[in-house]
């Protein structure tokens, strides 16, 4: 039995807390929001995930020391925009070599850092790993079969965390490609916004398939330029996560995209979804990275123009369709 704290009491933190408890571990859920701690302690469920019940022996707390001291693993499940402030807040309490698992997805707009890099910067004494893949909290919390990947610099760390989470409904693979995993997880949210916008415009399956396929091409193009492994973008944390986020109504990014496609601003869409829409925060960072590494991201570029420059979704689609003629597989050789 391990002692594990979920740093973040949102839907993903709650889903993983229930999973880890079923695996026999001693689980603590920490939240910076006093109202959230009170709700979880009293109701034993999160209002965003009704029906997923926290067992009574899971401790819900807002006390930093209680959440950090003596734990075998800290699981960072806060929204990407709060990763740095949360890491800085808890850093003085984190011991040398403490394992921290980041399960959020995003890129910091100002620094262009992935979340594991932010945690390492704020908590340099920690052993930081990541977990990503096609895994909606709503389904994990209800015990639906899910596959996911843990990435770490050390094989021993990856395999230890793999052992904590593995169950008959939660299969965990391991990887050394932290960068590729995190880029896939962050950038797919931007493409999912595009997929939702297409849905909001009333487009069909042909459009969705095109966005997913060309979207993973853009993600892999940037990711490999930055040093990620191409195989990572072909796997669970790349195309797998992209498919589920573009196709499911559990996806807050797709839901927000639908509202934007119907004519709402991204601020109005986020207010209606009532959850953090990570793709909005990653979109500008993606374009800054594209410029830095000199790669083209036409879908992500159009999403940025819709979100921040007032371009109509209809016009963005037309511009994507009427781009210069291209060859799909650049390495292919013609017979004649």
Is residue 311 annotated as part of the catalytic site, yes or no? no
Rg (CA), the chain: 20
The span from the CA of 107 to the CA of 87, in Å, is 15
Q: What are phi and psi of 290, to 5 degrees?
A: -60, -40
List the catalytic residue out of 105, 188, 229, 284. Answer: 188
The span from the CA of 186 to the CA of 115, in Å, is 10
Give catalytic residue positions.
188
């Amino acid at each position: 039995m391990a002692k594990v704290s979920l740093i973040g009491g949102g839907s993903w933190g709650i889903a993983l807390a229930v999973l880890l408890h079923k695996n026999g571990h001693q689980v603590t859920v920490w939240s910076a929001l006093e109202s959230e701690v009170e709700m979880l302690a009293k109701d034993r469920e999160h209002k965003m995930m009704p029906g997923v019940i926290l067992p009574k022996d899971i401790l819900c707390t807002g006390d930093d020391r209680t959440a950090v001291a003596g734990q075998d693993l800290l699981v960072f499940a806060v929204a990407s925009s709060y990763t740095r402030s949360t890491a800085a807040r808890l850093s003085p309490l984190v011991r040398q070599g403490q394992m921290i698992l980041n399960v959020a997805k995003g890129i910091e707009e100002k620094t262009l850092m992935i979340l594991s890099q932010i945690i390492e910067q704020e908590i340099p004494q920690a052993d930081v790993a990541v977990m990503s893949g096609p895994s909606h909290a709503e389904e994990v919390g209800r015990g639906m079969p899910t596959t996911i990947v843990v990435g770490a610099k050390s094989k021993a760390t990856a395999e230890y965390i793999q052992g904590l989470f593995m169950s008959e409904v939660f299969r965990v693979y391991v990887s050394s490609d932290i960068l590729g995993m995190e880029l896939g997880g962050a950038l797919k949210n931007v493409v999912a916004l595009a997929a939702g916008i297409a849905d909001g415009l009333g487009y069909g399956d042909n459009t969705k398939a095109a966005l997913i396929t060309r979207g993973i091409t853009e993600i892999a193009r940037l990711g490999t330029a930055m040093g990620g492994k191409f195989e990572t973008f072909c796997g669970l944390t790349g195309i797998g996560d992209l498919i589920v986020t573009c196709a499911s109504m559990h996806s807050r990014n797709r839901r927000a995209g639908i509202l934007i496609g119907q004519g709402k601003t991204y601020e109005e869409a986020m207010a209606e979804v009532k959850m953090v829409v990570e793709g909005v925060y990653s979109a500008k960072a993606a374009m800054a990275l594209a410029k830095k590494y000199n790669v083209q991201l036409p879908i992500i570029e159009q999403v940025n123009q819709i979100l921040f420059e007032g371009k109509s979704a209809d016009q963005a689609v037309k511009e994507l369709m009427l781009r210069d003629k291209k060859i799909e597989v650049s390495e292919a050789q013609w017979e004649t």
